[in-house]
A and B are shown apart, each in its own frame.
Chain A
Amino acid sequence: DIQMTQSPSSVSASVGDRVTITCRASQDISTWLAWYQQTPGKAPKLLIYSASSLQSGVPSRFSGSGSGTDFTLTISSLQPEDFATYFCQQAYSFPLTFGGGTKVDIK
């Protein structure tokens, strides 16, 4: 199985801050990576697919980059609705696997 490791596990930030979350795969997954946002009690929502493609309807302050084993999700200017938990997921091979999550909370 491909292991997905996210860091940090949590980050405290203020509205307007730039936030960067990283995800590392245990082997090369090319750009077969997606990012999701989950708020408490809700289902996850797709933000980014193919490592850097923005899902329709997702604000442009979200961006993704990387290939191979190292990936980054960046929120350029944190908004109140962005306080949530973020997960990465590899779609390169079965079983599909997720990172452990990064919780973004208010400083």
Chain B
Amino acid sequence: QMQLQESGPGLVKPSETLSLICAVSGGSVSSSPYYCGWIRQPPGKALEWIGSLYYSGETHSNPSLKSRVTMSIDTSKNQFSLTLTSVTAADTAVYYCVRGVAAAGIVSWGLGRLVTVSS
């Protein structure tokens, strides 16, 4: 059973950059046909897809965030990462790293990391 674990600062100042890492255990971060991705959930609200990275190298990001989002995979460390620039209070959320298969849904979720944007 693959395990995912987010890490990174829990508090980020407005206008700064949010950076999170997802450590993967129990399997390879780049194994086909899985994709890696990030989803967030503001307190008490619904889930919002941030973006996905595929084993082919293809990436997709939510257009609402696209210009601020960077995602990458580090196969040597079996982890993947998210950076979100120019954050505001609206970016306060629990951030989940995930693994999924296109036709089979999001099968693995990290525990989630609450990131609060505040000065």
Q: How far is the CA of A21 from the CA of B107 in the complex (A)?
A: 21
Q: How far is the CA of A43 from the CA of B103 in the complex (A)?
A: 20
- Residue A46 lies at the interface, judged by CB distance under 8 Å to chain B: yes
A interface, over-half SS:
loop
Min Cβ gap A58→B in Å is 11
In the complex, what residue of chain A is closest to B103 when comparing beta carbons? A50
In the complex, what residue of chain A is closest to B111 when comparing beta carbons? A43
Q: Which listed residue, B47, B52, B107, B110, touches A55 by the CB 8 Å rule?
A: B107
- Residue A97 lies at the interface, judged by CB distance under 8 Å to chain B: yes
Known: A32-B103, A49-B104, A94-B60. A87 touches B46 (CB 8 A): yes
Contact with B along A23-53 (1 / 0, CB 8 A): 0000000001010100000011110111001
- Residue B55 lies at the interface, judged by CB distance under 8 Å to chain A: no
Min Cβ gap A95→B in Å is 5
Which of A10-18, A67-75, A76-84, A98-106 sits within the interface?
A98-106
A-B contact pairs, 30 of them (CB 8 A): A34-B105, A36-B105, A36-B106, A43-B96, A43-B109, A43-B110, A43-B111, A43-B112, A44-B106, A45-B109, A46-B106, A46-B107, A48-B105, A53-B104, A87-B46, A87-B47, A89-B47, A89-B105, A89-B106, A91-B102, A95-B63, A96-B49, A96-B52, A97-B49, A98-B46, A98-B47, A98-B49, A99-B46, A100-B46, A101-B46
| Chain B residues proximal to chain A, CB less than 8 Å | 46-49, 52, 60-64, 96, 102-107, 109-112
Pairs A-B, 7 closest by C-beta atoms = A34-B105, A49-B105, A43-B109, A96-B49, A98-B47, A95-B62, A49-B104
